[in-house]
Each structure stands twice: as C-alpha cells, then as structure tokens.
C-alpha cells in the first residue's frame, strides 16, 4: 500500500541512535462507486470531499466517512443544523465555504442515513458515491434518491 506522507523518527536510547520510518496519511487506491465503476468527481465548486479533491473517498483519517455525494436541500441543511452540524456556516481555516440549497457535497454516510430515516435525505449522485456506502444502505434505496440526469 502506498502512502502520501512519510516521516523519520529518530530516538536516542542509552547512547544509541535508533531511526524509524513512519508512514502516515491516506492510503492511495482507486475507489469505486456504488455500481462498481470508477468513482466520478462529485463537485469542485465548492471543492468537496474529506481531502478537498472533489471526490467522496475516505481514508483512515476520515472518521466521518464522507462518501455520499449529495445535492443538499434547505430542508436537509436545517435538519443537519438541528443535529448540531451547521453546514451553512463557512469555516475558512478548514476550506469549508458553507453550503446553500442545491450545492453538491460529500456527506458523512451516517448523517445521510439519519436524514433518510427522518424523511429529509437529499438526492444522491450515485456515480460519485463511494461503494462502501452499500455497507450502510442498500442500492435500491439509494436509487430512489438518485439525482436524475
């Protein structure tokens, strides 16, 4: 497995020098969408994805599992705010512009499922939604929320 970053850790122990190479960062792999095809770009304006590369892909640092490419609605944004995550407020130091009705964004899969259960789930771009979403929700349900092209 390849990694984006590496670091060298040098330890001095009882007069000896020990050198360790530590790999960290996200693993580099080709992600697939829910159809088992190459994952497509979700959005670049605003630039989305946990890695802010426009793709709904995940890695070891992404505890929220931002893998659902959704087109947010005002109803969903209000729901998310009421759950404690105000997606409409910009956070400039984390490259988050704040969202408005109609924006596409990589959502945490657990938040999408919560919104679905509450009846406010936004539409989904299935070609840009990562395949591991199927571990949380079945394809038929997702297809019912597909953005019509």
pLDDT at 60: 87
pLDDT in tens, 45-56: 888 999 889 999
* Structural domain boundaries in the chain: 30-144
As a whole number, mean pLDDT of residues 31-57 equals: 93
Specify the CATH number of the domain 30-144: 3.30.56.110
C-alpha 41: how far from chain center: 12
53: helix, strand or coil:
coil
Locate 124 and state its tokens.
């989904």
| Global model pTM greater than 0.85 | no
| C-alpha separations of 66 from 54, 58, 82 in Å | 11, 6, 19
- Reported as type and span, the H/E element at residue 81 is helix 74-82
Asked if 1 and 27 touch (Cβ cutoff 8 Å), the reply is yes
pLDDT band at 21 (very low <50, low <70, confident <90, very high): very low
| Gap between the Cα atoms of 59 and 122, Å rounded | 24
- What is the average per-residue pLDDT within 57-86? 94
Choose between 7 and 136: higher pLDDT: 136
Q: Three-state DSSP class for 139?
A: helix
Taking only the tens place, the pLDDT of each residue in 92-138 is: 887 788 999 999 999 999 999 999 999 999 999 999 999 999 999 99
CA separation for the pair 142, 123 (Å, rounded): 9
Q: What average pLDDT is seen over the chain?
A: 83
Residue 93, SS3 per DSSP = helix
What is the per-residue pLDDT for 28?
A: 38
């Amino acid at each position: 497995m390849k990694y984006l970053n590496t670091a060298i850790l040098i330890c001095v122990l009882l007069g000896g020098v020990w050198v360790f190479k530590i790999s960290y960062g996200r693993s580099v792999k080709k992600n697939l969408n829910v159809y088992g095809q190459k994952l497509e770009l979700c959005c670049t304006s605003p630039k989305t994805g946990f890695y802010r590369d426009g793709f709904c892909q995940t890695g070891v640092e992404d505890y929220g599992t931002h893998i659902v490419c959704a087109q947010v609605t005002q109803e969903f944004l209000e729901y998310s705010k009421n759950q404690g995550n105000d997606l409409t407020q910009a956070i400039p130091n984390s490259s988050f512009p704040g969202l408005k009705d109609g924006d596409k964004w990589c959502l945490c899969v657990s938040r999408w499922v919560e919104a679905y259960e509450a009846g406010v789930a936004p539409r989904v771009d299935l070609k840009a939604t990562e395949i591991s979403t199927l571990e949380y929700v079945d394809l038929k349900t997702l297809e019912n929320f597909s953005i019509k092209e």
